[in-house]
Every structure is written in C-alpha cells, then in structure tokens.
A and B are shown apart, each in its own frame.
Chain A
C-alpha cells in the first residue's frame, strides 16, 4: 500500500533528542551515579567482609559495639516520637489556620536543616556544658547533660527536628480544610475530626517523614560527636563507634559496624521508594 510507506520519511521527533545524544547523556549520568553513589555503598560491604565473616561477627558482637547499638536505638526511640508529635501539631496549626507570621514560623522550623550539625552540638555545649550558661546550676543539681546520654538525645532531636513537619506541611496545605470543616458540620469533635478525617489522609506522608527522621536520628554524627565526649560503652552511638574504630586503623571492624548503618540506609531507601511508588499521590504534592 503506497500510503503505508510514508511514515518512514518521518525524522526524529522535534520534541526529543537523537538516539546518540540520549545515549551519551544517560551514560554520563549513570557513570556519575555509579562513581559517586554506588561505589561507596559497595565499598562499605566489601570492606566489612574483607577479613571474613568471622571477623565481621566478632566486630558486631563486641560488647562496646553492642552498647553503641543500644544507645543509638535509645536516642532514636526518644527523638523520633517527640518530633512526630511536634510535626503533627505544627502542621495542624500551620495548615489548618490562617495567621500572621506563618512564613516566619515555617522558616524557623526549617532552621535546624541549615545549621551545621557541629554548631547544633556546640550550642548545647555552650548552654549545658561545664562552662556553659546553665553549667554551674546543673552541676549544683548534680545533673549531667553534656558528655552524657541526655545531650546525645537533645542533639539528635535538634538535627531531626524538621523532618516530619517538612513532609506534612505541603501535604496538608494541599488537602485544605474542607474535609475537616465538613466533619465538624456533621457533629464530629476535634479529636474525632483529626482521627477519622485528617489522619487517614496523611498517614503515608507521616510514615514517610518518620522514616527519614529515623534514618537521620540513627545516623547523626557531627552534632552527637560534639556532645558525646566519646566515652566507650557509655556515650558512643554507632556512628561514633565507627569513627573510633576507623581512627584506630581497625578498618574491618569499623566497616562492619558501618555496614549495619548502611543496611539501615538501604532499607530506608527501599521503604521510601515503595511508599512513593505505591502511595505517591498521598505524599506531598510535589512528589506526586
């Protein structure tokens, strides 16, 4: 059929690039991702098993390592729920009401993101440390915060402070207030409105925020490093333990503990990807 032949004289669509250009760009991007992201991840696990499975297990079963795991979990177990409650409360106040100074409040909530973790640790040392503003008073009360567990928890809370609010604010902004107003007009009280109308709408975004918050809480290094005092078995979290082992040239053990943290990161990424894939439209709009 004569007419059937003509579609061959169509050239490259004017709305995309030639195959060669596309291949080059994809290749370059993959090379970059490979060198900067994939290789470090692979290196962690390779180095962790460099001295065999036995050495790996020993490094992790070491009591000091186990103590650091325990402390990491304690810090996250306190910081994440508190920041979760804060995130929900702040998002509710910010997105369901109109008030002056809202954008200032949002900026302040974002603040810990733009503060160096080292400075986050520093401010607590300056506040609670022996020579800090409240140091003498705390000493007289026999309370120790810096170089002790409370300081580690506080520093962790600071650096993970915005995560949940950050996820929820755009999401709830987009959802508006109509559904809550409808629930109120149908006689629901405040708590019922939140539990039955708002919460189902934000649950996946909430989980997403908690996931990221937890990953950061368990992996935080700079801020915790400043306030911890590096007391083995007492104030060392996993990332700090990784540092100590590394600086002692105990690379295999260092990477063994690091591989636990890297696994946590991979699990977080997988869960995050799963959430985005399955519930993308129920997460913040921009990611939709």
Chain B
C-alpha cells in the first residue's frame, strides 16, 4: 500500500510537533523515521495510525483519505513501544483479540481464529508459550507477541514505535535481523520509529531523518550516511569531527586543502568572508608524511585499539577540542602509533557548510 503524508501540521498547545510535512511510502517498503526525541517522529507515526489527528493536511492510503476512518477501521498494525499487551489475557488471547472483536456476522469461526493465531505464534516462534501471561515472558518474547497481535488483523501497513527500544543490546540486534527477514517475506509496507541510527541504517530501505518537526533528509541508508544533506544529519548520523573554519568566496581552507562550501538547500553560499563548519568523518582522517604532502601537525593523546578499528584521539594545533580518527587495525599496527607521538594528519574527504540560516 502507498501511504502519502500530505502537508501535515500538528500542534500541541504552543508547541508545533510537525511542520507542514510531506512523505510518501511505497508499497512493500520498510521505512525508518529517525530523529532525536522531540523531533516529531512518534507523532507522525501516530497520525498515520489514526491514534492522533493532524491540525492540517491529509493522510492518504492508496490515494483515499484515511482521515475519514478511525484507527480501528484503517487496518493498521501498530506495535507499541512498551508493547501494550493486555496483561490479563494469555499470549493466545492477546493475539486473537483483533479477530474476536469483529462484529458477529463477519467474525471467523472460533476454530479458524485459533488456527490463525497458532500460525502467527509459530511465525514469531512462540507457539510453545501460547498459554502464558505477558508477565511471564521476557522482553523479546513480549515484543514478538505484540508483533503477532498486530499482524493478526492482516494489516495493510505495519507501524512500529521504537520496536526495540526497551530491549537489551544483544536481543535487540538479533530481533532486528529477524524482523528484516520477516518483512522481506511478507512484503508488508512498514514504518518504524527509532532514535538509534544503527538500527535505522541496518534495517530500513529508506531512512527519514527528522528534526524539530521537519524532515531533514530522505534517502537510502547509504545516501543519508555518505551524503548527509544538512549539518544536522551529519552530526546525528555516525561519528563526526566538526571544526570551525572560515569561508571566503565560497571556499574554505582546511589542513592545507581547499574545500568548496555548500548549503543544505542548494542556495548559493553567501559571498565574502564568513564563519562556517567543516565536517570530517573519523575514518576520513589519514596520517601522512609531512615531507610529501601538506597537512596539520597533531599529537596522539589516546588510543583505543580493541576491535577491528583503532580509535585515536588527536590534539591538533588551533582546535580547542580533540579530533577523533579511525584506522583499520592493520594500518594502525603498521603506523605504530603511540600516545604522545607527533604526527601529521590530512582529510581524505570533508564538507563545509556555512552556519544555518535560522
């Protein structure tokens, strides 16, 4: 199903949660709404579900206005952040709930309901636990019950609010991969909300980065990570070094290299001299031989070498905070970096933005 979000605005008293927002989700897509808390991502998800109502704008499901229909009529599967399981019902009764509240003339026979529920429970691998109560389940199991319950009504779209937020790291990672495979098999249009960039980048077909009730960028995980459209996306996704620099005539000089400044909305960079920020990913910092190439002198302050990449903190002349670099382990060993050592660094890639207009 195609979901169109059409110029949605939502206010809570004085606070504007969503500002004139547009979004289109394609059939079978798995989309992540990613942003810090207060960015409006959960509000947007709840408006799509019909749990909340926009002050302005429309939500279209396959081209028809969903605003006419209440949440129960929209056939959305909603998985709540804290699962919202019915604590007085068994796993089985929880999953069957959506089938049992159908008006009598349209309701399936009891035996059919039971069959459908058991099939769903085996899909989420909880058929053994059908008779348990939610309080007798672990977090990951509750999560899967919530998912099975949402799927039971054969939703046209699956909406998940921070689906892994309440789980510990290990469970979260495995459940994430499992959900991705489940989605691929069912090809059900799905939207999930997360504040965890790793989750969004690993799981989603497309990532919608939100901030302050507006969309900063929409793109594939690769696009948003490698080509952040705005300084916000740069800082929000992945580790980043932000360095003050001076832009003059649209260009900035950084560690001996000239970088062309750009703006996030494509408007021309103001001419003249102005302050700006350069963004460099840690893995784009290289250690060079100063006799062959121009760079910045730096001193190694700390090395964390556990794992496949080594993280090196560097004090660079003229920069008040430490700069972080990442090297593959092999390269780190070859260079033989040590705390206190003097080195010269350069940036393999960097982008420069003038300060935000607002």
Contact = CB atoms under 8 A, between A and B. Distances in A.
A14 B70 contact: yes
Interface string A1-39: 101101101110111000000000000000000000000
A14 B53 CA distance: 11
Contact of B58 (A6, A11, A13, A14): A6
Contacts of A14: 50-51, 70-72
A14 B58 CA distance: 18
B55 interface: yes
A3 B50 contact: no
B65 interface: yes
Contacts of A7: 53-56, 67
State the main secondary structure of chain B at its contact with A: mixed
Nearest to A15: B51
Interface in B62-108: 65, 67-68, 70-72
B70 A3 contact: no
**By CB atoms of chain B within 10 A, which of A7, A9, A14 has the most?**
A7
Closest 10 CB pairs of A and B: A10-B53, A3-B7, A14-B70, A3-B57, A14-B71, A4-B56, A3-B56, A6-B58, A9-B67, A6-B67
A14 B67 CA distance: 13
B6 interface: yes
Contacts of B50: 14
Nearest to A8: B67
A15 B70 CA distance: 10
Interface of B: 6-7, 50-51, 53-58, 65, 67-68, 70-72
A6 B57 contact: yes
**By CB atoms of chain B within 10 A, which of A6, A7, A9, A10 has the most?**
A6
A13 B71 CA distance: 9
A20 B41 CA distance: 34
B11 to A, nearest CB: 11
Contacts of B65: 6, 9
15 contacts: A3-B7, A3-B58, A6-B54, A6-B56, A6-B58, A7-B53, A7-B54, A7-B55, A7-B67, A10-B67, A11-B70, A13-B53, A14-B70, A14-B71, A14-B72
A1 B70 contact: no
A1 B58 CA distance: 12
A14 B56 CA distance: 19
Contacts of A9: 65, 67-68
A58 B50 CA distance: 68
Nearest to B70: A14
Nearest to B52: A13
A3 B50 CA distance: 17
Nearest to A4: B56
